[in-house]
């Protein structure tokens, strides 16, 4: 395949996704004629107020929650910060437990809580990036206030055993939060089945607009108000809601859930093809992460290569990949995730992340592997 056959091959869907046409269609009325403020009580505001209610119902239905348990935010980072900083009460249960491979939104929020005097325990993962339940069970203490472990890792795609971990947290009397930004819309997510108290999600990871997300808070879970001001979001997160973005998020999530199985089959065929082509290429590489992973996610480490060089050379050939988390792409330091899973030094520096989407093709996979062979083998 010539890279002139298509303008660009986008293989970085864990960074962001294309806006779903159904999301755009759902957004347009609230960007044009139905621009009323949903907090107002007159007739002109009713369409916005109705859209807010219906979006909350849709999101709740997609993750097995009740509408009153869904709180709209500006995205995954805000949701993570609210969960971590709002669930530990000074003078009460103050110790936080988290894994060493969390997204920086969680790790930096935990660091802020440490500076405020809350102890934080960072739990190690195994070589596949899995936090073994026994590790949490052995570490948890009577003063545990919060356990925060992501549902799926943003760099290596590993899905964590959250259902087992929540049971341990519950026995210890701690709240459980999961960063599900990479999971929602891609694998089945049911908050009741998982047993979580809080769950974070971001719209632009599943075909919605940027700048909007949600935090699920289980009814009865104690969490402090995140932003003071008006009475929006049941008085817990002030600020006029972005109705267009919220409507787009709900439409995108509903569409993603409906297409989930179809997408899974397609994406797993692409990742399997990549593995086979890579194995036949003669390139010296290791694949990172667990077998139980987000569909379409690949983390590959090439011996004695440089990830940044691979990224830029692939870019010149019309291919977009990442060296790790898109949220930390400007850093040339070795990823904390790769360090945590102990990727051998001679491979770790040559790591790239490919995350395929519904529009990627088998022909594109072949082209990517051929380009890697040309760049590294040449």
Residues of the chain with pLDDT under 70: 1-6, 89-93, 324-332, 378
pLDDT of residue 94: 84
| Residues β-bridged to residue 148 | 98, 177
Catalytic residue flag (residue 327): yes
| Residues β-bridged to residue 70 | 216
Q: Which architecture does CATH list for 21-258?
A: 3-Layer(aba) Sandwich (3.40)
- Please give the CATH topology (third level) of the domain spanning 9-19+260-377: 3.90.1150
Nearest-angstrom CA–CA distance, 65 and 104: 26
Quick: pLDDT tens for 103-154: 999 999 999 999 999 999 999 999 999 999 999 999 999 999 999 999 999 9
Q: Quote the pTM value.
A: 0.95
DSSP labels for 258-298? HTHHHHHHHHHHHHHHHHHHHHHHT--EEEES-SSB-TTEE
Give the full edge-to-edge strand order of the sheet including 285-288. 285-288, 297-302, 351-355
Domain extents in the chain: 9-19+260-377, 21-258
For residue 327, the 8-state DSSP code is G
pLDDT of residue 4: 40
Residue 93, both tokens: 């249960």
Q: For residue 57, give the H/E element and its range.
A: helix 46-63
Q: Considering 62, 89, 118, 327, which one is annotated as catalytic?
A: 327
């Amino acid at each position: 395949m010539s890279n002139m056959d298509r303008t660009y091959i986008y293989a970085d869907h864990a960074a962001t996704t294309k806006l779903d046409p159904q999301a755009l269609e759902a957004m347009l009325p609230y960007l044009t004629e139905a621009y009323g403020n949903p907090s107002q009580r007159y007739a002109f505001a009713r369409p916005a107020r109705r859209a807010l209610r219906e979006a909350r119902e849709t999101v709740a239905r997609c993750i097995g929650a009740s509408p009153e348990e869904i709180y709209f935010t500006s995205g995954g980072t805000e949701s993570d910060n609210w969960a971590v900083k709002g669930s530990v009460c000074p003078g009460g249960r103050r110790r936080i437990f988290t894994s060493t491979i969390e997204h920086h939104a969680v790790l930096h929020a935990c660091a802020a809580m440490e500076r405020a005097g809350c102890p934080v325990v960072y739990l190690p993962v195994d070589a596949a990036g899995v936090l073994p339940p026994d590790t949490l069970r052995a570490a948890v203490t009577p003063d545990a206030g919060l356990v925060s472990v992501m549902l799926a890792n943003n760099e290596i795609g590993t899905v964590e055993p959250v259902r087992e971990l929540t049971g341990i947290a519950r026995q210890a009397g701690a709240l459980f939060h999961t960063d599900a930004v990479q999971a929602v819309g891609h694998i089945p997510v049911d908050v009741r089945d998982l047993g979580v108290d809080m769950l974070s999600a971001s719209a632009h990871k599943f075909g919605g607009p940027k700048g909007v997300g949600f935090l699920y808070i289980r009814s009865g879970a104690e969490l402090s108000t995140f932003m003071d001001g008006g009475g929006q979001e049941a008085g817990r997160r002030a600020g006029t809601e972005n109705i267009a973005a919220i409507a787009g998020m709900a439409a995108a999530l509903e569409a993603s859930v409906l297409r989930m199985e179809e997408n899974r089959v397609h994406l797993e065929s692409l990742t399997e093809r990549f593995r086979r082509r890579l194995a036949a290429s003669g390139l010296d590489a290791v694949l990172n992460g667990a077998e139980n992973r987000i569909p379409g996610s690949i983390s590959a480490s090439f011996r004695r290569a440089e990830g940044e060089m691979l990224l830029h050379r692939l870019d010149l050939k019309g291919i977009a990949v990442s060296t790790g988390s898109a949220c930390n792409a400007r850093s040339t330091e070795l990823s904390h995730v790769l360090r945590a899973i102990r990727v051998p030094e001679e491979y770790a520096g040559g790591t790239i992340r490919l995350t395929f989407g519904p529009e990627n093709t088998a022909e594109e996979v072949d082209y990517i592997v051929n380009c890697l062979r040309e760049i590294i083998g040449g």
